[in-house]
Amino acid sequence: MLKRIVSIQDISCFGKCSLTVALPILSAMGVETAVVPTAVLSTHTGGFTGYTFRDLTDDIPEIARHWESLGIKFDGIYTGYLGSIEQVNIVSDFFDQFKSDDTKIIVDPVMGDAGRMYAGFTSAFAAEMKKLCGKADVIVPNMTEVSLLLDVPYTENYDEAYVREMLRKLTDLGCDTAVITGICYGDGKHGAVAYDKKTDTFSSSFERHIDCAAHGTGDIFSSTLSGSIINGGTLQEALDTAVSFTFRSIEATLPDIDEYWYGVSFEKCLGMLTK
């Protein structure tokens, strides 16, 4: 039987992020993927101006009610970019409605990158996102989001001890597992580090660092990690799959990076995931 996940995040119609990467990646991994689009934007907000934004918050409880009446169940719930505090609260209710003992909840607390919040986010939003992270099994912030979730200053000068301290603090929010993405210790490598509270163990996965600011890579990472976890992979297997798929996708974009500044060419690498 296929595993079934529901991904809750926006559709950026052009720009390769959120649902337009989650759907192909999870499908390639053999996971049945339902979606709750939280908003429809003409493009993502990174580097484009003048984009449209159709808020779909009011549709979410209605979609949930219909699904509940049909008895639909999910092995996983994976959330990404959410557009407002109200939406975070509605997604929190969605967790209560659809979580069973076997449902894994993965929250990517999308709020910013490289020390800056994305357009439209506030510290009040971050406070609400903290609570949502507390209801997750696995959370997947980058260092910018760690600083917003833990109220610590953003830094790019960190070492392994600091990352481990942040990971332990993240699990204090209430989740079992925290994964920090985009970790670079300045040794030419780039990857992700994780902590599992139940077993008190750290794990990590690294690839060669590629010096390029690519858009949508966080969503590619969390989609792949989610697919691997839902398919029963260990945390180490999920990290390895997500880090290597993200790395290969960035590498595949390099020959045409000026053309594809808005998103990476992950399509060239989907075959890696179909085994």
Binding ligand PXL by CB under 6 A: which of 3, 44, 104, 130?
44
Told to check if 246 binds ligand PXL by CB under 6 A, we report: no
- Contacts with ligand PXL, 63-82, as mask; x by CB under 6 A: ------------------x-
**In this chain, which stretch among 41-49, 67-75, 160-168, 190-198 interacts with ligand PXL, using CB under 6 A?**
41-49
Told to check if 129 binds ligand PXL by CB under 6 A, we report: no
Told to check if 110 binds ligand PXL by CB under 6 A, we report: yes
Cα–Cα distance for residue pair 178/138, rounded to 1 Å:
6
Tokens at residue 259, please?
């053309």
Told to check if 45 binds ligand PXL by CB under 6 A, we report: yes
Q: DSSP state, 22?
A: H
Strand partners of residue 179: 194
Shortest Cβ 236–ligand PXL spacing (Å): 25
Contact status, residue 56 vs residue 63, Cβ threshold 8 Å: no
Told to check if 181 binds ligand PXL by CB under 6 A, we report: no
Residues between 157 and 176 with contacts to ligand PXL, criterion CB under 6 A: none
**In this chain, which stretch among 39-47, 128-136, 194-202, 249-257 interacts with ligand PXL, using CB under 6 A?**
39-47
Told to check if 46 binds ligand PXL by CB under 6 A, we report: yes
Based on the number of CB atoms within 10 Å of its own CB, is 89 exposed (0-12), middle (13-18) or buried (19 or more)?
middle
Binding ligand PXL by CB under 6 A: which of 109, 141, 182, 216?
216
239: Cβ contacts below 8 Å, ≥ 6 apart: 179, 191, 192, 194, 203, 204, 205, 225
Q: DSSP state, 190?
A: E
**In this chain, which stretch among 30-38, 85-93, 213-221, 253-261 interacts with ligand PXL, using CB under 6 A?**
213-221
Cα–Cα distance for residue pair 261/228, rounded to 1 Å:
27
Told to check if 135 binds ligand PXL by CB under 6 A, we report: no
Q: What amino acid is encoded at 22 in this protein?
A: A
Contact status, residue 158 vs residue 146, Cβ threshold 8 Å: no
**In this chain, which stretch among 28-36, 40-48, 138-146, 253-261 interacts with ligand PXL, using CB under 6 A?**
40-48
Cα–Cα distance for residue pair 254/210, rounded to 1 Å:
9
Contact status, residue 238 vs residue 273, Cβ threshold 8 Å: no
Q: DSSP state, 231?
A: T
Told to check if 17 binds ligand PXL by CB under 6 A, we report: yes
Told to check if 253 binds ligand PXL by CB under 6 A, we report: no
Positions touching ligand PXL (CB under 6 A) are: 10, 12, 17-18, 41, 44-46, 81, 110, 118, 216, 218-219
